[in-house]
Structure 1
Amino acid sequence: MDKIVMNGMQFYGYHGVFPEENKLGQRYEADIEMHLPLDKPGNSDHLEDTINYAEAYEIVKNIMEKQTFKLIEALAEQVASKLLQTYTSINEITVRVRKPHPPVAIFFDGVAVEIHRKRA
């Protein structure tokens, strides 16, 4: 299956279990893989035959920056659901959300969740 990949998107959001996270916010990163046939846009060279990744980015940005979730699992689920709902050409989607600096006394490169959903 063909795919459109949007890697390394960065956002400032207010997600987390702790009240300070919801008040102060922090940086989040997201990667999206949208699996869909790309033969038609590959042959036509028309934007309307594919997913406009600038529009898809705005959908992700609105969820990441304007909504609040306790868990990044819920955040990733909302991103996947909204993109599947908006773009019926997507057959499968993988969403990775990273929280590079979680407020815990552990030294690591952050925490991430990855979900994979298929159209029912």
Structure 2
Amino acid sequence: MKLLILDAGHCLSLALAREASRRADTELVIEQGLAVSPSQLQAIAPDAVLIPPLAHPLSMTLAEVKAHADAVDRCVDACQAQDVALVWCVSDQLYEEGFDSPIDEHVVPAPRDECLRRLVQTGDRIRAEY
């Protein structure tokens, strides 16, 4: 399996790179940023694109979170254009904010924070279109 991992410095990317180095059936292509075009996907020809979670979105500005969500939206468009699977990971903060109980990952989060709501909108789009 060939995987394209975006946001190379994220700890998830580093862990996947370590794991893939132990396997003969996995090839990783790791890119620095979140930008990927349909032509890049065609050239790389991954089986899936992985986007690590945004670390600590509650401590970021709305502009930073919006820029991340917009980049994910562009990745969705590129992946759909090339019929490539997309795996977008989200921060636990998306599920924790506004709740007194432990994370229930079967429930679509409904955070009070505007930054986190922007990430939920992107997730809603992915669920609706994939």
TM-score using structure 1 length: 0.28
Structure number with the higher helix fraction is 2
| Greater share of strand | 1
TM-score, normalising length: structure 2: 0.27
